[in-house]
Amino acid sequence: MGADWAVVTASFLASTVEFVEAFTIVLVIGVTINWRSSLLGAALAAGALAIIVGVLGTAVVVFVPIAVLRVVVGVLLVLFGLKWLKKAILRYAGLKAMHDEEAIYEEEQAALRARGEGPTAKIDPFGVVTSFKSVLLEGLEVAFIVITFGTGTSTGPTGKGNSIGSAVIGAAAAFLVVVAAGGIIRAPLQRVPENTLKFVVGIMLTSFGTFWGGEGLGIQWWSGDLFLVILVAGYLVASGILIAWLRPAGTHQAPGTLAASEPH
């Protein structure tokens, strides 16, 4: 029984880190784009994970090239993150018109009501793909944790058997805790200004992409997952320097030349 609780605890702590990373991306995509796209991507990833684990079982740790997946997902997230970050930096520097999401939303709502229609939330391919990639990668990480902890601990009186059940309990508990915490912070996050939120999302996508891509290339980050905080801080500082450097050009640019009509 002692070994079982040790496995539950270890699986819970390790899985919590992975679920937090995945849920962070799902949360910001849901808030900045829409929840249908974010949850659809997460659901598709969960289905893919179920098929992979169901078909391969414990062999998943052998046949799924997690390093390659980390590099691919990392590169794509960095590209998406830098795209959002570039626009946010240009807006804060005054080189691109600030996107007044609230005014646009009110105009769209008025137009819909005038036509007798209700609000819609179209599926956004970017949101679906980003959510899918993040949940799939972190889900595989959790699968590795469960399988490794579960099969690496003998629990029977003769030293045989495994603790897969205990590892699953720990991972499931971690999932519930992370989802509950995410539900609590979702409302405050939705009140953050749209431009600020997209700036933060750009920082986070770029940071996660750098971290996962580096892991796939064999980089051993100092302090493990805690190095994510350093990456976020580094990108924030670099972005702040760029904004300060570009702002003089933005203040001298004529208002009529700002790219107000560019897509956000």
Q: How far apart are CA 136 and CA 42, in angstroms?
A: 8
Give per-residue pLDDT as tens, 234-259: 999 999 999 899 888 766 654 444 44
Q: What is the pLDDT of residue 2?
A: 47
Q: What is the pLDDT of residue 31?
A: 77
Q: How far apart are CA 148 and CA 163, in angstroms?
A: 10
Q: What is the pLDDT of residue 151?
A: 60
Do the Cβ atoms of 205 and 46 come closer than 8 Å? Answer: no
Q: What is the pLDDT of residue 121?
A: 63
Q: What is the pLDDT of residue 152?
A: 56
Q: How far is CA 4 from CA 7, 14, 17, 144, 156, in A?
A: 5, 15, 20, 18, 11
- At residue 254, the 3 state secondary structure works out as coil
Give per-residue pLDDT as tens, 5-44: 767 887 888 788 788 878 888 887 887 778 888 899 999 9
Q: How far apart are CA 38 and CA 41, in angstroms?
A: 5
Structure tokens at 25: 């991306």
Q: Which ranges constitute the DSSP H helices of 123-226?
A: 125-151, 164-190, 194-216
Q: How far apart are CA 80 and CA 41, in angstroms?
A: 16
* b/e 180-218 (16+ beta carbons within 10 angstroms → b): eebeeeeeeeeeeebbebbbbbbbbbbbbbbbbbbbbee
Q: What is the pLDDT of residue 23?
A: 85
Looking at the chain, how many residues does it have?
264
Q: What is the pLDDT of residue 237?
A: 94
- Rounded to the nearest 10°, the torsion over CA 73, 26, 176, 44 is -70
Q: Is residue 88 exposed (0-12), middle (13-18) or buried (19+ Cβ within 10 Å)? A: buried
At residue 216, what are phi and psi to the nearest 5 degrees?
-65, -30
Q: How many CB atoms lie within 10 A of CB 64?
A: 16
For the chain, list residues with pLDDT below 70.
Answer: 1-3, 6, 56-64, 97-121, 148-162, 186-194, 250-264
